[in-house]
Amino acid sequence: MFLGHFGVALAAKELAPRTSLGTMVLAAQFADLLWPIFLLTGLEQVRIAPGITRATPLDFVHYPITHSLVGQVLWGVALGLLYFSLRRNAKSAVVIGACVVSHWFLDVIAHRPDLPVFPQGPFVGLGLWNSLPATVAIECGLLALGLMLYLPASRAKDRIGVYGLWSLMVVLVAAWVSSLFGPPPPSERVLAYSALAMWLAVPWAAWADRHREITTSFALKP
Ligand SMILES: [Zn+2]
């Protein structure tokens, strides 16, 4: 899953409007942001296997630290506690923790049965990626749903609030489309380094979000 995680980040602003969209993106994409780091350290492994699913050529050989349910619950607790220690906002901290864990449940829909519950298994996955049309429908649907919740909850204060947000959406969709229809990555190492670029989405979302303000109906929420 890719765009769907950003849909969750956008929707989460509805529950915690004062928390930056950058923080929500960090949380909802946390597993995929850590993953290339663990690939490069050798603690997790991926294999490029064109044809393994219709939507991705990646065979997720071993990724218990970033992508097991237990791992994501622990990362969620850690990120939630870190946020609470910095901002003293319990509700936002819980939303952030839930966003981290939501990653696993969305990935269950998309992946082959390669997603570990505990680090050693059992492995689950509903295999959405075996169907290209279904992948496109679900990914685009979740992103659209996130935008439908985020846009009425916030208003652009200036042009950056508009173009910052929409340029991020365009880049994310373009990256996703090229991963779907482009050639597979030339090597696992190139894949890991290019996956690191996704970290840019965090400050980008924070920047756009800073140039937007919450609308009055949401201003009353903590
Ligand atoms: Zn993932």
Number of structural domains in the chain: 1
pLDDT score of 90: 92
User: pLDDT tens digits for 146-170?
Assistant: 999 999 888 898 999 999 999 999 9
- How far apart are the CA of 88 and the centre of ligand 1, in A? 28
Going from the Cα of 215 to the center of ligand 1, the distance in angstroms, rounded, reads 32
> pLDDT tens digit string along 1-21?
999 999 999 999 888 888 999
How many angstroms does the Cα of residue 217 sit away from the middle of ligand 1? 33
Per-residue pLDDT tens for 113-143? Answer: 999 999 998 999 999 999 999 999 999 999 9
Of 118, 37, 40, 30, nearest to 75 (Cα)? 30
The answer to whether 44 and 65 have CB atoms below 8 angstroms apart is: yes
Give per-residue pLDDT as tens, 66-109. 999 999 999 999 999 999 999 999 999 999 999 999 999 999 99
pLDDT of residue 17: 87
Domain that holds residue 214: 3-219
Q: Which of these, 74, 128, 82, 81, lies nearest to 100 by C-alpha position?
A: 74
Ligand 1 centroid – CA 216 distance (Å): 35
What is the 145 CA–ligand 1 centroid distance (Å)?
19
pLDDT for 216 equals 60
pLDDT at 159: 92
Give the pLDDT of residue 153. 85
pLDDT, tens digit, 9 for 90 and up, residues 176-217: 999 999 899 999 999 999 999 999 999 999 999 999 988 766
